């Protein structure tokens, strides 16, 4: 199944965050609100506009994602790396502290 996810960076530390169904920002993609239809996508776009003027996050945008066996993952390698951390340093980024995702960046 494919759909969209709203992401941003947290202002105070720069960490990558995802917009959740309870309208929070979470470090984990597994918490993300997955927009599979127009209505939810519109909600994400409203939130994107709100995020731009807010103080909590910055550089918000929506990316393409898919859901396999209940696991959410970005479609494009760029977003997968952003969700996990550098592929050349498994000890850094979300992949190193349990906030990553149950998928690989490159396959």
Scanning 19-27, 32-40, 49-57, 65-73 for contacts with another protein by CB under 8 A, the matching segment is 49-57
- 28 lies in the binding site for another protein (CB under 8 A): no
CB of 44 or CB of 79, closer to another protein: 79
The one among 52, 90, 97, 104 contacting another protein by CB under 8 A: 52
d(CA 54, CA 83): 22
Pairwise CA distance, residues 95 & 77, whole Å: 15
Contact 9, 17 (CB under 8 A): yes
Residues 100 and 93: their CA atoms lie apart, in Å, by 8
Binding flag, residue 6, another protein (CB under 8 A):
no
Tokens 């519109």 appear where?
42
What single string gives the DSSP state of each residue in 27-52?
S-GGGB--B-SHHHHHHHHHHHHHHH
CB-nearer residue toward another protein: 24 or 58: 58
Site string for another protein, 60-89 (x = CB under 8 A): ---------------xxxx--xx--xxxxx
What residue ranges bind another protein (CB under 8 A)? Answer: 9, 11-16, 52-55, 58-59, 75-78, 81-82, 85-89, 92-93
């Amino acid at each position: 199944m494919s759909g969209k996810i709203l992401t941003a960076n947290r202002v105070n530390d720069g960490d990558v965050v995802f917009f959740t169904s309870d309208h929070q920002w979470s470090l984990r993609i597994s918490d993300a609100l997955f927009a599979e239809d127009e209505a939810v996508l519109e909600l994400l776009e409203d939130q994107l506009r709100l995020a731009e003027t807010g103080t909590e996050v910055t550089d918000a945008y929506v990316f393409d994602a898919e859901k396999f066996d209940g696991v959410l993952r970005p479609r494009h390698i760029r977003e997968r790396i952003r969700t996990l951390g550098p592929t050349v340093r498994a000890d850094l980024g979300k992949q190193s502290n349990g906030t990553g995702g149950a998928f690989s960046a490159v396959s």
